[in-house]
């Protein structure tokens, strides 16, 4: 249960890390959207393991296969099933450590919930690989949002406490894609790479913060009191493994501000009402106000570390030591960046379809 | 749209700040729960305006009226409609400022979304009064959770940057209810009261952070990959006006930690697997692990301040100054505390009913 | 559970036959719809007990009370709660027969499902009175559909085997409302009245068939493969107590036809493609085709009869005889007619809002 | 949109008649169900084209491929994606008739809804082939229902007006499977075969009626007032192309009965309350009562006939004649029989999982 999301642009996830494939079904994509496998592949490639030493060396070809909902170069209005086939499956490592609960992973809770029947290989459904499905759906959502001029971006703003300088950062899709850490403040990125390298040597891992930005989102989207834009974005973002917090606009900082500081005052600009500041992150009362949507997510350090950890062998119900050998990212943050933008795009696309800002047939 | 929440314990909100009533319909409450109006009233009273100077002086009697789903002292399994009737309605103040967009409020986005037809009096649907409905539903949810030994608490952990000392805090329902700020660290509460008094004098307002705790939640609740416990709790919590951020366990702090610090290692305690620490806030892979669920929400400062603010009159489309006179809380945090526990209880109750840990007929 | 229906025009039902009220919450009604209590009252009055001898003599004032979602003469876009207060409650009769399962009623299944906690008075949630809520929501739906030129009608086409003559019938809202049986074939109506009178004398009851018609429904509504127009209309109609069958267009007769007879051939009429016949009842592949939507529902005879019946006393677990005295309709069909049109209107309005044929703000 | 169904056993359909595959994703199947491809294949084979002259000669190998949710012989609790790959695709026939609206098919409504972008080959999403997905999901549902002793059967009770004799019929899975028409009254089946042969020669087609039966369904399932068992079964059954009517128990016949005839009186049998007759079809007040669930669906004659028909070429907007050559069933009824039982099983399984009669982990 719980593997589908959305109301009008509904995504249903399936597949396991070491099963036959990772897939996603999109129900509700309008007919008439010109799309190619390349459009999707470009996004998929962004979450590939980095070609630098501190990332997993698993070769994930991750070639998208469009299984349905597509005809003569256009979407048909029918459900679109997208899959990547798992080729480089080496489950040998996992068998050896079967029963050993990896701290920070879902091994324990999955065992309880599914009575031990879950596919534990590589974390199964709880693997970061599942997000390949999110990214494929996000690629379709991005194409739809482009039709109404909405741009969704995400970038790394902090790794292990090293923050980007908002004064320096110049956010653009190009700048983000060109940096291996998806960080648009080069000096900060240098420092981040350096702490990552230290952590790698220490057999440890690091977390960070990703900021998502949606530009040109029409005012009026969001359905309070429960289907607020914050609530729906947060729910979508917490579906990314490792996300531990979500904040909008001034976020937790707002808790320290005075009303006179935090309130965004209104003014008229070219005949339109705008807020002078954007502490609200583009959302008031759960509804978009036309200003950029700003969200930040806290990503915990990768739980897989090569350092020895204390744990329990659940098969034998005894204490055990664990050294995770496999192929793991020291810092998952950069690879999570395209997933953050994917989940934002999926949610905003759902909203835009509900509001019929994107029509059901593209002409 | 968007005014209902949940799958098995479904709440549907209705009513406006200055309309006839504030109401909630609960669909899915098991039959056979002994309940009285007093059970609900106790919770409602917790969100009453404080009897100290810095809070609104509006007299909100807020007496619960059970309209359906109740027979001979027990719930019947039918939808339970609960209402509080609005008596002390003085809309005069609001008419004078009609058209003036209050910064930090939803006046602007509501106007756009509903084409100016929305009941603007006192914020209408966007008023904090709407949460009276949440609290009534939360009272029912708390009664159900008590059946399975689950306790849900919330308390103030920060106001305007003044934090409680986790070493001192002794969290109990009694300690929370006995403090006017719902803060269980008396010295910190003293300081908080002092900054609130300063803000009141300055015609300003303050925000803060509330921590929610759920004890004894069974392991195995949550339905990844999308209906994660974090995602569903966050969505429920963002339905509280003024919430700008939600984090679980170590939350945003986890982003600064190393994997070796953040990972909760496992050990065996009385034949059960437990985590030694609880940085995960009781949730791994979107599923509860049996440890306390820990969530923190950032509450922005009350947008209504008596200081003069710059804004726009949307009826005349011209710049304007605004001084909000009405009756307003300088710091909404303490009154939001029972709402946080209500939303947590509603979500956990929904989960427990989905998992049939709470049966459909109470015996 | 299960007390709400729809996706964009969501109705949530509450209340019991002998509780405080019968209510309905509509979530998703556009803002800006001018509406009065009279608009709703007119529809409510159509399901009043008939002023002729064979119908219940319970005095159901059934005055609508608009509790929310309404401001200055217009809907606001917020949830609309509508209630009728139960005044003429005489539960005395029911107490005497408590424990006696009334054949054809839900007493038995309700007892099992709700463990005996259900409000059994007058059938509680299973009473036909619940449909007062449907009719109130239907009145709002009809007002919305009128904006796009859609007309929804229902009429009696058969009672106890006496059928109307399709050649004679002239269907109009006026003709239907003017006939006490909601039957537009006066000679047939005469015969129906006569068999009803006979059944009344015999202490028995009768069933019949109601036909629902929706004119001018835009082509293209319906979301196959599962959210078909037939499926959603059928589900809505089976929510009316006593409905045992639903068929569209030629319906069960189609099972006896040949393809060459049943297929509706296409032709061009004033530049538009139309079907020459309408055996499909205006729906092909689950999607409306622009022709009238035609549905027929089978209504079983009222289960409450004054004749002695064999049953069981569930409190004593022993056989018993039952003579139902109370106030009951000999034939519920005419009173179910406005409920059929209400459920059709609600479903079609939901579809039209999903397709944004009706906008979210009425201007 | 609209391509998923259910609350706890959620199926999501994808694929087209002449696309890469027909698929279904099941979300909510408990973990620990031992299942093999053979279990599913057996059900799939039941909807194969019959090896007698009057049925389509398209070779549909329809071999099930389990893509996810399955590990070491058991379901894992993760979404189960099942697919059959389309091999024998000959779209040539369809290209020639592109633009010609086939009467009785969804060509017209699909064109309107999807703006001409829909995959029209073989009816695309509107093909009967889509039901291969339903049948695969139904096979899993049947395995789950078996765990709680529920048996779901369907059989042919009428073709072109020729009815089976209820006195003769002996319903068993074996008897149904052994008859090419899925009819357990051999003399009636002979007559049916004869009229089918006549229709084939005449280039025409025939419809009929299928009865679905569910035995041993626990009392108490169904969630009135809207999620009634009748409503949910009807919605599921109308998802089968060609179904035009659905009735329960006495169904449309009940409309002609008196209350004293139609009411099922109660008696006590081996300490349990049962109804003496079963005119209600096992459902009262939308809730199962423990007696067999009885439903009948009207299936229209196959719209594809080789006889010349009048239609319109939508590309040229001109009248046209149409002779459908392709490979088509003269009477689809027998092939729809396993689809009826599949949809019933899916719905009942969803109910049983909601009620936790089937647990979330099979042990």
Does ipTM come in above 0.85? Answer: yes
Go through the domains of chain A in sequence order and give each one's CATH number.
Answer: 4-354 (3.60.150.10)
Q: Mean pLDDT in chain C?
A: 94
Segments of A20-176 assigned E as strands: 21-27, 64-66, 70-71, 74-75, 80-85, 151-159, 162-163
Contact present, B267 and A108 (Cβ < 8 Å): no
CB contact under 8 A, D3 and A79: yes
Contact residues, chain A, for C356 at CB < 8 Å: 355-356
CA distances from C58 to C23, C49, D157 (A): 19, 8, 44
Average pLDDT over residues B329-358: 96
The per-residue pLDDT for range D244-263, each reduced to its tens digit, is 999 999 999 999 999 999 99
Q: Is D231 on the interface with C (CB under 8 A)?
A: yes
Cα separation, D256 vs B314, in Å, equals 63
Cα separation, B111 vs B35, in Å, equals 40
**pLDDT given at position A51:** 61
**pLDDT given at position D98:** 85
Q: Tokens 């609530």 identify what position?
A: A231
CA of residue D210 relative to chain centroid, distance? 9
pLDDT at B88 over 70: no
Q: Is D267 on the interface with C (CB under 8 A)?
A: yes
Cα separation, A165 vs A167, in Å, equals 5
Contact present, A214 and A150 (Cβ < 8 Å): yes
B164: nearest Cα among B18, B333, B51, B349: B333
D287: nearest Cα among D219, D188, D217: D219
The per-residue pLDDT for range D105-139, each reduced to its tens digit, is 999 999 999 999 999 999 999 999 999 999 999 99
Q: Is C2 on the interface with B (CB under 8 A)?
A: yes
Cα separation, C333 vs A338, in Å, equals 59
Residue B55 confidence class, pLDDT cut points 50, 70, 90: low
Contact present, C245 and C297 (Cβ < 8 Å): yes
What sign for the dihedral angle of Cα D254, D258, D261, D262?
Answer: positive
The C-alpha of D273 sits at a distance from chain B's nearest C-alpha, in angstroms, of 20
Least confident of A45-49, B2-6, D316-320: A45-49
Contact residues, chain D, for A239 at CB < 8 Å: none
Total number of residues shown for chain C: 363
- Local structure of D85: helix, strand or coil: strand
Average pLDDT over residues D62-68: 96
Backbone dihedral angles phi then psi of residue C112, each to the nearest 5 degrees: -65, -50
CA distances from C102 to C108, C110, C238, C302, C329 (A): 8, 12, 21, 11, 15
The minimal CB distance from B118 to the residues C3, C15, C77 is found for C77
Backbone dihedral angles phi then psi of residue C338, each to the nearest 5 degrees: -65, -20
A170-209 as b/e: b if 16+ CB within 10 A: ebeeebbbebebbbbbeebbeebbebbeebbeeebbbbbb
Cα separation, A62 vs A46, in Å, equals 11
- Local structure of C14: helix, strand or coil: strand
Cα separation, B11 vs B23, in Å, equals 10
Reduced to 3 DSSP states, what percent helix, strand and coil does chain D have, rounded to the nearest 5? 30, 25, 45
Cβ neighbour number for residue C271 with a 10 Å cutoff:
6
CB contact under 8 A, B285 and A209: no
Contact residues, chain B, for D360 at CB < 8 Å: 355
Q: Is C251 on the interface with D (CB under 8 A)?
A: yes
pLDDT at C58 over 70: no
DSSP H helices in chain B: 37-46, 92-96, 107-114, 131-147, 173-178, 186-201, 229-237, 259-262, 333-354
Cα separation, C254 vs C261, in Å, equals 9
CB contact under 8 A, C360 and A360: no
Structure tokens at B23: 């109401």
Burial (0-12, 13-18, 19+ Cβ within 10 Å), A307:
middle
Q: Is C355 on the interface with A (CB under 8 A)?
A: yes
Contact residues, chain A, for D20 at CB < 8 Å: 67-68
Backbone dihedral angles phi then psi of residue B255, each to the nearest 5 degrees: -65, -20
List of residues 6+ apart from B10 with CB closer than 8 A: B4, B26, B27, B28, B350, C1, C4
**pLDDT given at position C338:** 98
Cβ neighbour number for residue C187 with a 10 Å cutoff:
12
Contact present, C139 and C39 (Cβ < 8 Å): yes
DSSP H helices in C24-162: 37-46, 92-96, 107-114, 131-147
Reduced to 3 DSSP states, what percent helix, strand and coil does chain B have, rounded to the nearest 5? 30, 25, 45
Q: Tokens 């200003």 identify what position?
A: A291
Cα separation, D135 vs D41, in Å, equals 9
Instruction: Give me the DSSP letters along C107-134.
Output: HHHHHHHHTT-S--GGGGGGSGGGHHHH
Could you tell me which residue, A90 or D6, shows the higher pLDDT?
D6
How many Å is the maximal CA-CA distance in chain C?
Answer: 70
Structure tokens at A267: 């003014």
Q: Tokens 């002409």 identify what position?
A: A363
Tell me the sheet residues that pair with D112: none
B295: nearest Cα among B237, B222, B354: B237
User: Residues in chain A with pLDDT < 50?
Assistant: 53
Contact present, A338 and A154 (Cβ < 8 Å): yes
CB contact under 8 A, A2 and D79: no
Contact residues, chain B, for C20 at CB < 8 Å: 67-68
Cis preceding linkage at C225, omega within 30: yes
- Local structure of B210: helix, strand or coil: strand
Contact present, D311 and D105 (Cβ < 8 Å): no
Contact present, A23 and A355 (Cβ < 8 Å): no
Cα separation, D334 vs D189, in Å, equals 11
**pLDDT given at position D26:** 98
Cα separation, A243 vs A211, in Å, equals 12
The C-alpha of A187 sits at a distance from chain D's nearest C-alpha, in angstroms, of 43
Q: What is the CA radius of gyration of chain A?
A: 21
Contact present, B360 and B83 (Cβ < 8 Å): no
CB contact under 8 A, B115 and C31: yes
pTM equals 0.97
Laid out side by side, the sheet with D80-85 consists of D4-5, D10-15, D21-27, D80-85, D64-66
List of residues 6+ apart from C239 with CB closer than 8 A: C5, C134, C343, D224, D225, D226, D228, D231, D286
Contact present, C28 and C36 (Cβ < 8 Å): no
- Which of C67, C110, C361 is the best mutation test for B, with the most CBs of B within 10 A? C67
CB contact under 8 A, A12 and D31: no
Cα separation, C129 vs C83, in Å, equals 12
Cα separation, C22 vs D167, in Å, equals 46
Cα separation, C237 vs A152, in Å, equals 43
Cα separation, D341 vs D334, in Å, equals 12
B234: nearest Cα among D14, A358, C178, A347: A347
Residue B92 confidence class, pLDDT cut points 50, 70, 90: low
Residue D97 confidence class, pLDDT cut points 50, 70, 90: confident
Kind plus residue range of the DSSP H or E element containing B283: strand B283-284
Structure tokens at D132: 């291969």
Average pLDDT over residues D208-215: 98
CB contact under 8 A, D78 and A113: no
Cα separation, D157 vs A117, in Å, equals 42
Cβ neighbour number for residue A343 with a 10 Å cutoff:
34
The per-residue pLDDT for range B128-163, each reduced to its tens digit, is 999 999 999 999 999 999 999 999 999 999 999 999
Least confident of A236-240, B170-174, D146-150, D227-231: B170-174
The per-residue pLDDT for range D173-201, each reduced to its tens digit, is 999 999 999 999 999 999 999 999 999 99
C213: nearest Cα among C182, C171, C184: C171
Segments of D44-131 assigned E as strands: 64-66, 70-71, 74-75, 80-85
CB contact under 8 A, A309 and B248: no
Cβ neighbour number for residue B168 with a 10 Å cutoff:
11
Q: Is C61 on the interface with B (CB under 8 A)?
A: no
Residue C363 confidence class, pLDDT cut points 50, 70, 90: confident
């Amino acid at each position: 249960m719980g593997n589908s999301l959305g109301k009008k642009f509904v995504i249903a996830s399936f597949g396991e890390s070491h099963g036959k494939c990772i897939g996603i079904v999109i129900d509700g994509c309008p007919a008439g959207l010109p799309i190619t496998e390349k459009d999707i592949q470009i996004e998929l490639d962004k979450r590939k393991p980095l070609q630098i030493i501190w990332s997993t060396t698993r070769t994930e070809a991750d070639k998208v296969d469009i299984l349905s909902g597509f005809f003569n170069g256009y979407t048909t209005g029918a459900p679109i099933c997208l899959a990547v086939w798992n080729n480089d499956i080496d489950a040998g490592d996992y068998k050896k450590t079967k029963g050993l609960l990896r701290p920070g992973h879902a091994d324990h809770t999955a065992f309880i919930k599914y009575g031990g029947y879950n596919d534990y290989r590589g974390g199964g459904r709880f693997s970061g690989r599942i997000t390949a499905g999110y990214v494929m759906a996000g690629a379709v959502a991005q194409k739809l949002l482009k039709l109404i001029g909405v741009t969704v971006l995400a970038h790394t703003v902090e790794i292990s406490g090293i923050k980007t300088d908002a004064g320096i950062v110049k956010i653009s899709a190009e700048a983000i894609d060109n940096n291996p850490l998806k960080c648009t403040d080069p000096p900060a990125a240098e420092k981040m790479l350096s702490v990552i390298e230290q952590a790698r040597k220490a057999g440890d891992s690091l977390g960070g913060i990703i900021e998502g930005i949606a530009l040109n989102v029409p005012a009026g989207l969001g359905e309070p009191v429960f289907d607020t834009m914050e609530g729906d974005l947060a729910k979508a973002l917490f579906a990314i493994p490792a996300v531990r917090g979500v904040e909008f606009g001034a976020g937790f900082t707002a808790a320290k501000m005075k009303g006179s500081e935090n309130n965004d005052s209104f003014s008229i600009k070219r005949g339109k009402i705008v807020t002078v500041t954007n502490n609200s992150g583009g959302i008031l009362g759960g509804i978009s106000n036309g200003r950029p949507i700003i969200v930040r997510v806290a990503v915990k350090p990768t739980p897989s570390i090569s350092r020895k950890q204390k744990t329990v062998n659940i098969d034998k119900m005894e204490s055990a030591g664990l050294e995770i050998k496999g192929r793991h990212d020291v810092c998952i943050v950069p690879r999570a960046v395209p997933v953050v933008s994917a989940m934002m795009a999926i949610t905003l696309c759902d909203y835009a379809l509900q509001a019929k800002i994107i029509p059901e047939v593209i002409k």
